[in-house]
Amino acid sequence: MGRVERRQASDPAGKSGRKTRQKPRTSNSGSNAAESPDLRDEVSEGQTELSSEARRDSRAVSAAQEASAIDPVARHSSRIELSLSALRANVRFLREKVGNGATLSAVVKANAYGHGTDPFVPMAEQCGVNHFSVASGHEASEVLKVCSDESSIMIMGMVYPEDLPWIIENEIEFYVFDLELMKAAASVATKVGKPALVHLEAETGGNRTGLDEPHLESALKFFKENRKHFVLRGVCTHLAGIESIANQFRITKQLDRFSETQKRLRKHRLRPSYFHVGCSAAALAFPDTVMDLVRVGTAIYGLWPSPDIHNMHLLATSPKSKKKNGLQRVLTWKTDVMHIKDVERDEFVGYGTAFQAPADMRIAVIPVGYSNGLPRPLSNRGHVLIRGYKCPIVGLVNMNACIVDVSRVGDVETGEEVVLVGKQKKNVIPIRSFSDFSNELNNEFISRLPAAIPRRVVR
């Protein structure tokens, strides 16, 4: 029975929303749908001139747009664009780093790091990725709605016992770091009539989740005694801060302990499908940590895990190499000018007295604030792009709006495009600039972008 059929059989009550789910059609109403037909027409007109890769990209754009199509009653105040060509370049770059022998598992927790699970998973599949890692059963159900039957899903975090029938029925892999969960999985597997696909997580010094030595030994014995109820898909651990050079003494100890774990598996004559410890930082700078599978989150979205990892890449790369930059940002975030106003010298702008005009100036009000994902610490510090100019944010970032100085831009008009993240003409607002001003991690900022913001796939 194929996975599509399994989904229907395993969820008769429609709890996960998959039984009757159909991909929505792209509508011409709303901001995110309006540009899609034009893009497809553009592709159609130039079809004969496109390279084979461009043709694949155009088909992927259409597929991902269909998967993420939204038919809103009214337009959202901002929008996100996802670059398929950037993602393809990132996957190619990561593949070169880890080699062909390791499986790339795209980490798509937190709504695909804010990029949107619905559009991102089909995009990744078009780029050759067919393994996805998530943090919970709920996130697994979201991926299952949009992934192909050939793709695998792995839950790295919380698994509720009551979700085990659904998880095992749909052949979703999951971490085991608690012996009681393993016992519950064996019981459910018996009732479902399928084996549980498990990854045993070993505690190696991260002291977060993982089976310590006595509990790992018990888990291995339990596995052998109940082998017909399990498939040992993986044995893994989580490296606690490999992106920091200052933390390498700790990582070295963890790798030594994981090596002992591998010896323990050999002693029991067990060989999982995957040994895996590597994350984005490990894949980019520490080839010794690349085993059978690498869990890539930050890097697949075009972000460097840390300055240390980026510097290590630069030191190992020829200054003339085209691969010097390596990663390309996938996400662009845009909005529009909501209102224009002239302000006289010494007048205060916005709430309180956070900003006082030093001279006569022109300001633009932008319909994006901290409830929309723009960090409040960017008050009087951040920038946006209008007509390619970097325009400083003045005053406090409000819940649903912020104000920028457009005095030197010219006659800015209501409705003009504003870039919050991304490139406009020759200037760029990088994602890392948000962490510079707000003390947030790159991942922290993008993962907080509201799911309500429409996402659109572009080439």
Q: How confident is the model at residue 316 (pLDDT cuts 50, 70, 90)?
A: confident
> Which tens digits make up the pLDDT trace of 370-400?
999 999 999 999 999 999 999 999 999 999 9
Mean pLDDT of the chain: 87
Percent of the chain with pLDDT over 90: 75
Give just the sign of the alpha carbon dihedral 5, 6, 10, 13.
negative
Question: How far, CA to CA in Å, does 119 sit from each of 72, 85, 86, 94, 126?
Answer: 17, 14, 14, 21, 11
Confidence of residue 20 (pLDDT cuts 50, 70, 90): very low
Q: What is the pLDDT of residue 437?
A: 72
402-445 residue pLDDT tens: 999 999 998 999 999 999 999 999 999 999 888 777 667 788 89
Give the model's pLDDT for residue 307: 87
Q: What is the mean pLDDT of residues 104-131?
A: 98
What pLDDT is recorded for position 319? 73
Is the pLDDT assigned to residue 5 strictly greater than 60? Answer: no
Q: What is the pLDDT of residue 42?
A: 36
Question: In this structure, are residues 206 and 254 in contact, taking their beta carbons and an 8 Å threshold?
Answer: yes
Report the C-alpha gap between 396 and 402 in whole angstroms: 7
400 in Cβ contact with 369 (< 8 Å): yes
- In the predicted model, is pLDDT for residue 14 greater than 70? no
**In which element (H, E) is residue 158 found?**
strand 152-158
H helical segments located in 20-136 = 31-34, 36-45, 52-68, 84-98, 109-113, 117-126
User: Counting beta carbons within 10 angstroms of the beta carbon of residue 445, is it exposed (0 to 12), middle (13 to 18) or buried (19 or more)?
Assistant: buried
pLDDT at position 318: 75
Query: How far is C-alpha 416 from the geometric centre of its chain's CA atoms?
Result: 29
pLDDT, mean of residues 54-76: 63
Q: What is the pLDDT of residue 237?
A: 97
Cα–Cα distance for residue pair 81/454, rounded to 1 Å: 9
pTM: 0.84
Q: Tens digit of pLDDT for each residue in 279-295?
A: 999 899 999 999 999 99
Distances (CA, A) of 173 to 93, 151, 162, 294, 420: 27, 11, 16, 15, 37
- Number of Cβ within 10 Å of residue 134's Cβ equals 26
Give me the residue spans of the domains in the chain: 334-458
Compute the average pLDDT of residues 161-172: 97
- DSSP secondary structure of 343-404: E-TT-B-SSTTS-B-SSSEEEEEES--GGGT--GGGTTT-EEEETTEEEEEES---SS-EEE
Residue 442 CB neighbour total at 10 angstroms: 20
Q: Is the pLDDT of residue 25 over 70?
A: no
Q: Tell me if the domain spanning 334-458 has CATH number 2.70.170.10.
A: no
Average pLDDT on 296-309 reads 94
Tell me how far the alpha carbon of residue 350 is from its chain's centroid.
34
CA dist list (Å): 436 to 329, 377, 391, 433: 17, 10, 17, 5
